[in-house]
A = this chain, B = another copy of it.
Amino acid sequence: MVSPLPGTGQVGYKPSIEHMTIILVYGKDPAMTRSLNVLIIGGVACGPKTACRLKRLMPEANITVVDKDAIVSYGACGLPYYVEGYFDDIEALTHTPAGIPRTPAFFDKAKGVTVLTRTEALAIDRVAKTVRVKHLDSGTESVLPYDKLVLATGGQAFKPRIPGIDLGNVWFMTHPEHAASLVREVSAQGLRRAVLVGAGFIGMEMAEALRRKGLEVTVIEMAPQIMPGILDEDVACFAARYLRSQGVHLVLGERATAIEGTGRVAGVRTDAGSYPADLVVVAVGTRPNDQLAREADLLCRDRIVVNEYCQTTDPDIYAGGDCVVNRYAGNLAGSTLFVPLGSTANKHGRVIANHIAGQPTPFSGITATSVVRAFEYTLGKTGLTERMARQMNLDIAVTTWAGQDIPHYMNASREFIIKMIASRRDRRLLGVQVAGLGNGAKRLDVAASVIYFGGTLDQLADIDFGYAPPFGPALDPLAVCAHVLTNKLDGLAHGIPALAAKERLDQGEAVLLDVRESGEARMVWLPFPQRIHIPLGELKARLAEVPRDKEILTYCQISMRGYEAQRILNAAGFQRVRFIEGGLAAWPYETASPGL
């Protein structure tokens, strides 16, 4: 019924009479009442999703997926976890949950979809409505016709043009074979020293994976912080402190200029230094595979431009996944975003299939949620960062909260921080970042939902979060953080971010007021000379000890008491008082303790 498989010697493509059968389909378009030829270029995430969904909607459609790779429909996001040893069989990434390999035979028999692997799409002819493909094994070419074409061509790891990039023991991490060979070679060659170029998601995940395998790990990042596209400087700084505590050597603000070695890698040179290495993993972002679309004169602006049905400027050609730009769902006109994620790619696939079948479900866009685990930390964000919002010239209010994820009396409670950004004008939530040991992932998903619906801080704080000690405190951290931010907007809470506080203190412009209990204050403190310690309960009685001619920065463990102290001092006539947001728990710099 469909194009002959490569290697059979038949290189042309001739529609059989079956293609002309008149059948009943679900679509409402009369033009679609003949059996539809749908051609999908790309066999990971968006492509297979489009194919399988569409086959369920239009059982008589002829659906063909072509991919130049030998395997399709694998979970690339799982690669670092295979390296770490979280699961033992890399085949699991290409298997269904029931353990069935997602091979072309599986797609044919279980899904009714033809998958042509090792088949590279060369060019689109929009007038003839055909795609010329090359069968890589035989070297032959075919021409495949389409009624609807889907570009699910994805992205590829960016390969910086630096000397040595093709040396042995240099890995990218986008294909199961990359992970498999890395694990093999670490063991076979006894590789010990890893240098990761790029401190984004894959850098974080590979740092964890390789440290857990016992390797020395150095991460080189061009930006002056880790996860530069994802986290603001302060949150990144907080996370970096933790990564260092896990034995990761972070080299920030240095650009890799060469990979050195003979035959195989011996080190990485940067614009500022040189780092020995037995293996290198390069993960400095992805680039869209949009060449086919550009050559077919489809509108591209950085990536392929699509409407909310994932149609390109040619309505018979759809595009989805990592090769397209997305609208921002959070109601900020003018902004498009590129976040290459399998989650979005799968949504695109469904949107495309639904639209082809005449059941349109417009895609609202993304809120740019990103989350990663780095050792025991959860790091992530949804919506806008403070930096993004300021670049967009938005009028924002920002705060940082620190505390436990579940009630403090539960042994399993863990600390984390939330940074929250809201619009001053209408108090809408614009962005949330999380970092720490506590369960930030749950809060990110809720925040993504609030941003999606255009919710305000008051609404966020009103949501009826599930409350039981194993899952959360009576007032969820998100709600408390929203309260802090509304308190700032209402002029009640005067917080200062850790970065600004450090600046003021380094310049000698402010006095620290520690309002913790004496026992706490003896254990660990912020190491600045201008420091007063008065437990909160004694503050009202000891106001005379607080200088009235200086700016006062209050703090405690999480700055709840710091905030109370600010209110007490304000009530006593002190004007220049701010609490350090997130207190000690969110402090990203060095602290002092008796042992040091």
Contact = CB atoms under 8 A, between A and B. Distances in A.
Interface stretch (A98-106, A152-160, A210-218, A387-395): A98-106
Contact of A359 (B382, B452, B490): B490
A75 interface: yes
Contact of A467 (B77, B99, B450, B459): B77
Given A371-B468, A464-B452, A470-B373, A97 B346 contact: no
A364 B445 contact: no
A471 interface: yes
A494 to B, nearest CB: 12
Given A382-B464, A410-B78, A99 B371 contact: no
A519 to B, nearest CB: 8
A-side interface mostly: mixed
A247 interface: no
Interface stretch (A162-170, A258-266, A556-564): A556-564
A516 B98 CA distance: 8
Interface in A507-551: 516-517, 519-520, 536-538, 540
A183 interface: no
A444 interface: yes
Interface string A186-209: 000000000000000100010000
Contacts of A483: 350
A475 B81 contact: no
Given A78-B409, A466-B370, A343 B474 contact: yes
Interface residues on A, range: 35 or more
A466 B380 contact: yes
- The 10 A-B residue pairs with the shortest CB-CB distance, nearest first, are A371-B466, A109-B537, A92-B409, A59-B571, A343-B467, A97-B408, A453-B453, A342-B474, A442-B442, A367-B464
23 contacts: A56-B567, A60-B571, A77-B407, A77-B469, A78-B407, A78-B409, A87-B410, A97-B404, A98-B561, A105-B537, A341-B467, A343-B467, A359-B490, A363-B462, A368-B464, A371-B471, A380-B466, A441-B472, A445-B466, A445-B476, A449-B449, A449-B453, A452-B462
Given A346-B475, A369-B467, A378-B471, 15 more contacts: A57-B492, A87-B409, A98-B517, A98-B556, A98-B561, A100-B537, A109-B537, A329-B464, A363-B462, A364-B459, A367-B464, A445-B465, A445-B466, A452-B463, A452-B464
Interface of A: 26, 45, 56-57, 59-60, 75, 77-78, 81, 86-87, 92-93, 95, 97-100, 105-106, 109-112, 201, 205, 329, 341-347, 350, 359, 361, 363-364, 366-373, 378, 380, 382, 403-404, 407-412, 441-442, 444-446, 448-450, 452-453, 455, 458-459, 461-472, 474-476, 479, 483, 490, 492, 516-517, 519-520, 536-538, 540, 556-558, 561, 563-564, 567-568, 570-571
